[in-house]
């Protein structure tokens, strides 16, 4: 049986930095919630079999209503207190699937992920990579600062900003999370971070992302998102 691919849209956060008074994935741009934009991108991609939504506690009904019109939306589950806890909840929901299936984790707060970006992640998985990230070059000089002073300046050409989706062979991300969840000190901001820390022998491939695939995080991002949504209604 050919490996199947499930997309998990992570919408378990509360959007504190945006400060909209409700989870940011529920705010509308171009007449529909950010969450709907994100689901739509995967629902429309022929390489994706199912879409699973992980939603913030207390908002499951809203998420189910948003997901309902999409053909491939298979389940809405409750997230956890951190992004890694939300990913872990998704992995539990996928427990019956074979290790050779693939899973893509995407931030619901990135409404404008292009088909081409998803294509590149899937192509890397098809080519045998077990962990795939999406990156864009840093435009600013990046420095490491500790206690208000610069401690190192990595060469800018090596500096990359991660986006999502991040794609994995299911067995690989499962194994990484098994170790991660056993670590009381677990701290990671994304799923490749978990693989990097807990399965360091796995190569993490980085494919090209897109500037449109930015994460709505702060109020200015909503202005940009509104503009993009009005320019290019899906």
Residues that bind ligand CTP (CB under 6 A): 10-17, 24-25, 54, 79-83, 85-86, 107-109, 215, 217
What are the residues whose beta carbons fall under 8 Å from the beta carbon of 33, sequence distance 6 or more?
25, 26, 27, 66
80 binds, among Mg ion, ligand CTP, none (CB under 5 to 8 A by kind): ligand CTP
Q: Please, which residue, 164 or 172, has the CB nearer to ligand CTP?
A: 164
Nearer to ligand CTP, 148 or 184 (CB): 184
**Beta carbons of 222 and 29 less than 8 angstroms apart:** yes
Closer of 124 and 216 to Mg ion (Cβ): 216
Cβ proximity of 141 and 116 under 8 Å = no
* Cis geometry, peptide bond prior to residue 165 (ω within 30 degrees of 0): yes
Q: How far apart are CA 33 and CA 141, in angstroms?
A: 34
Residues 6+ apart with CB under 8 A from 15: 22, 23, 24, 25, 109
Q: Considering the complex, what minimum distance in angstroms separates the CB of residue 57 from ligand CTP?
A: 9
Contact pattern for Mg ion over residues 13 through 52, marking x by CB under 5 A: x---------------------------------------
Applying CB under 5 A, the residues found at the interface with Mg ion are: 13
């Amino acid at each position: 049986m050919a490996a199947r691919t499930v997309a998990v849209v992570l919408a378990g956060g509360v959007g504190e930095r945006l400060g909209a008074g409700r989870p940011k994935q529920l705010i509308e741009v171009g007449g529909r919630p950010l969450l709907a934009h994100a689901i739509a991108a995967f629902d429309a991609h022929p390489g994706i079999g199912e879409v699973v939504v992980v939603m913030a506690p207390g908002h499951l009904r809203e998420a189910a209503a948003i997901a309902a019109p999409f053909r491939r939306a298979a389940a809405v589950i409750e997230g956890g207190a951190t992004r890694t806890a939300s990913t872990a909840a998704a992995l539990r929901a996928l427990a019956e699937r074979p290790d050779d299936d693939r899973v893509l984790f995407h931030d619901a707060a990135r409404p404008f992920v292009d088909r081409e970006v998803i294509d590149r992640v899937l192509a890397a998985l098809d080519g045998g990579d077990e962990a795939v990230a999406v990156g864009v070059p840093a435009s600013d000089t990046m420095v490491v600062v500790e206690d208000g002073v610069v401690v190192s300046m990595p060469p800018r050409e090596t500096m990359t900003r991660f986006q999502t989706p991040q794609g994995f062979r299911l067995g690989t991300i499962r194994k990484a999370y098994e170790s991660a969840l056993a670590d009381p000190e677990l701290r990671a901001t994304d799923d490749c971070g978990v693989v990097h820390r807990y399965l360091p022998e796995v190569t993490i491939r980085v494919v090209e992302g897109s500037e449109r695939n930015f994460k709505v995080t702060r109020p200015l991002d909503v202005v940009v998102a509104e503009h993009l949504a009005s320019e290019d209604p899906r």
